[in-house]
Amino acid sequence: MALSLKVLDGVFLLNKCHRQNGFCSLFKPLVDSCHPRLYSSYKRPGTAPDRTPPWKKFDFNFQEGVERIKTHFGLLRKEVVDHVKGPEGRPLVEYMVEQVRVAWEFRSEEDLNKWSVSSDAEIGGKSEIFIKLGKNNQSAVLYGTLNTAVPRDGETKYSGYCSMKSKPRLVAFNRKSPYDWTNFNSLFLRVRGDGRPWMINIYTDPYFSHHKDDLYHYFMYPRGGPYWEEIKIPFSKFFFSSRGRVQDNQHALWLDKISTLGFTLGDKVDGPFQLEIDFIGLVKDRAHTEECAYELYERNPKK
pLDDT tens per residue, range 205-239 = 887 777 788 899 999 999 888 899 999 999 999 99
* For residues 167-192, average pLDDT: 92
Residue range 5-40, pLDDT digits in tens: 343 344 343 444 444 444 444 444 444 444 433 334
pLDDT, position 208: 79
pLDDT, position 160: 92
Do 170 and 243 form a contact (C-beta atoms < 8 A)?
no
Contacts of 225 (CB under 8 A, 6+ apart): 192, 195
Radius of gyration of the chain (CA): 24
Give dist(CA 264, CA 159) in Å, integer.
13
Confidence of residue 297 (pLDDT cuts 50, 70, 90): low
Helix (H, G, I), strand (E, B) or coil at 237: helix
Do 218 and 198 form a contact (C-beta atoms < 8 A)?
no
Query: Does the pLDDT at position 296 exceed 80?
Result: no
Q: Which domains does the chain have, with CATH numbers?
A: 2-40+48-84 (no CATH), 99-283 (2.60.120.430)
Quick one: how far is CA 56 from the chain centroid?
A: 38
H/E segment holding residue 20:
helix 2-20
Give dist(CA 55, CA 37) in Å, integer.
11
Model confidence, pTM: 0.74
Query: Which DSSP symbol is given to 287?
Result: T
Give dist(CA 243, CA 217) in Å, integer.
12
Tell me the CA end-to-end span of the chain in Å, nearest whole number.
76
